[in-house]
Amino acid sequence: MRKKMTLTEEDFKKHISGAQTFMILSGADFWRGYHRGLRRLYHGGDFGTDAEHELWMTLADATGDDQRRDRGRGYRLGYAGVSISEALRRSDEGEK
């Protein structure tokens, strides 16, 4: 059985606020995915369906569609609980 990841309310609010700021400033698909991944991590199955979660997890592997791939990369990092500062570093580097 997979270990459930957790995120404190304080960290959730800090990271979600940063993601919202970057979405406003850049409108980047990466930040939309990161925002959604954080929400799934924090709220668990109460946010979205398992099918939606699986779809978002596969987007990072999309070929020929940069928008979907960027959203998927952000989602995976948000769902992993990666800090906003680390997500910013990875978004600039284009890392998975």
- Alpha-carbon gap, residue 56 to 49, rounded angstroms: 11
Phi/psi for 48 (5° steps) reads: 75, 175
pLDDT tens-place string over residues 41-92: 999 889 999 999 999 999 999 888 889 999 999 999 999 999 988 998 888 7
Distance CA 84, CA 87 (A): 5
The candidate with the shortest Cα–Cα distance to 72, out of 18, 30, 24, 11, is 30
Q: Give the global pTM.
A: 0.84
Domain spans in the chain, listed from the N-terminal domain onward = 29-93
As a residue count, the chain comes to 96
For the chain, the C-alpha Rg in angstroms (whole number) is 12
Which pLDDT score, from 0 to 100, does residue 24 have?
A: 84
